[in-house]
Structure 1
């Protein structure tokens, strides 16, 4: 069965999408990871950050899982939480090497302050040799720092990453979690909550039909919710199965 692509004019319109947060993430089997992140987020909201004692295992977390298991959502959520708490947040990805250079230039200053700062690193498994070296140096700086938090995500457990051994070992020094794919009932619940957050009312048959006929992974399903939201607003029609079929039919 072929899955049709989302119409570009709607799939790219995400202006109505709520920002990623821990609150709008359906944890499924990831309760331990969510609890750890919520505890850290709560510590940023308090008044005890200055001079607080943050042991390494509370601010060095790596999680891994298959595509569509929420890895990037959680990184974005913790980054958004940091920014909401007025903390400095540096997001690192394999596709933007310049941001790594800037961080390494400034990390000594960050390491000396008692005010928390947050680094997020996505797709650790896709880093090239140069960025692997950079991440190793950054982790050394975080280890020696007073209040830098670093959150990292990848496609495999540290021991199974195709990276140099010293970095694989270093990733395992902190807390390590595995993110799990949602089952169909959990997907329907998550999509229903996402639609509700957008003020979008779906007829009861829409989500089961999509899961049985079209999309299975959560990123595509969430993009489709955005597309349906935009199409419903443009056509001034409720989101029913005929409207979904109309949106997805080949042009």
Structure 2
């Protein structure tokens, strides 16, 4: 059976989709990582923008896991927490090299500042040679700073990344965690949580059916929750199995 896909007309701007946060992340087997991140985020709130000490002890955090295991959600959650607290926050990824240049231009000021700042780096496994060099320089500055907090995510443990040896070694100096895929019961719990956050009521047979017939990875399932929310509002109908089948029917 072919896996259904969302019709093109539902590539919508879902402006009311809740932002990624540590509170709307179902930790599953990632509880130790999530609790560590909560402690750090709380330290920013307690100290406002005055980071008198760095809880990471001049190091960084790196987590890795398969696609769909929550790596990017957690980075976005950390960035949103930093922004809520009023900290300077820089989100880096392989697709936006200009943001790396802008960060390096400000890095000396951040190193010398008494105020805390936050850097997130997603998909470190996809960095090209230029960005690998940039990340190595950034980590050197972070190590020498008092108040820069950097969080990095990739698809493999540091030793198994296809990066320069010196960068793999440097990444291994930080706190390392592995993100785990949710099992089916946990996926249903996470999807119910996401639906509730959107004020969306699902009939009991919807989520088990989706897990058996639709994509099984969380990013696509979460995208479907957004599409169901939009379709339900547009059609003014409850989210039942007939409505789901209608949404997924090829046009």
- Tell me the TM-score normalized by structure 2: 0.97
For the residues of structure 2 that align with 1:100 and 1:13, how far apart are their CA atoms? 27
Aligned partner of 1:183 in structure 2 is 183
- Give 1:49 deviation, angstroms: 5.6
The structure-2 alpha-carbon separation of the partners of 1:200 and 1:59, relative to structure 1 and needing over 3 Å to count, comes to farther
Aligned partner of 1:88 in structure 2 is 88
Task: Assess if the C-alpha contact under 8 Å between 1:40 and 1:58 holds in 2.
Answer: no
Aligned partner of 2:206 in structure 1 is 206
Aligned partner of 1:4 in structure 2 is 4
Please state if 1:192 is matched with 2:164.
no
Moved more, 41-50 or 174-183: 41-50
Alignment of 1:138-153 (within 5 A): 138-153=138-153
Cα shift readout 1:74-123 (whole Å, capped 9, x = no counterpart): 00000000000000110001011111111111100000112110000000
- Give 1:243 deviation, angstroms: 0.1
Aligned partner of 1:36 in structure 2 is 36
Cα shift readout 1:145-183 (whole Å, capped 9, x = no counterpart): 110000000000000000000000000111000000000
Q: Supply the RMSD in Å over aligned alpha carbons.
A: 1.3
For the residues of structure 1 that align with 2:58 and 2:188, how far apart are their CA atoms? 33
Alignment of 1:155-174 (within 5 A): 155-174=155-174
For the residues of structure 1 that align with 2:76 and 2:56, how far apart are their CA atoms? 21
The structure-2 alpha-carbon separation of the partners of 1:48 and 1:238, relative to structure 1 and needing over 3 Å to count, comes to closer
- Give 1:12 deviation, angstroms: 2.9
- Give the secondary structure class of the aligned counterpart of 1:173: coil
For the residues of structure 2 that align with 1:20 and 1:32, how far apart are their CA atoms? 18
- Give the secondary structure class of the aligned counterpart of 1:152: strand
Task: Assess if the C-alpha contact under 8 Å between 1:11 and 1:226 holds in 2.
Answer: no
Aligned partner of 1:115 in structure 2 is 115
- Give 1:213 deviation, angstroms: 1.1
For the residues of structure 2 that align with 1:166 and 1:234, how far apart are their CA atoms? 53
Cα shift readout 1:195-225 (whole Å, capped 9, x = no counterpart): 0000000000000000011120000000000
- Give the secondary structure class of the aligned counterpart of 2:99: helix
Please state if 1:66 is matched with 2:60.
no
For the residues of structure 1 that align with 2:219 and 2:145, how far apart are their CA atoms? 35
- Give 1:14 deviation, angstroms: 2.0
- Give the secondary structure class of the aligned counterpart of 2:177: strand
Aligned partner of 1:227 in structure 2 is 227
For the residues of structure 1 that align with 2:135 and 2:174, how far apart are their CA atoms? 14
- Give 1:54 deviation, angstroms: 1.5
- Give the secondary structure class of the aligned counterpart of 1:25: coil
- Give the secondary structure class of the aligned counterpart of 1:90: strand
- Give 1:30 deviation, angstroms: 0.2
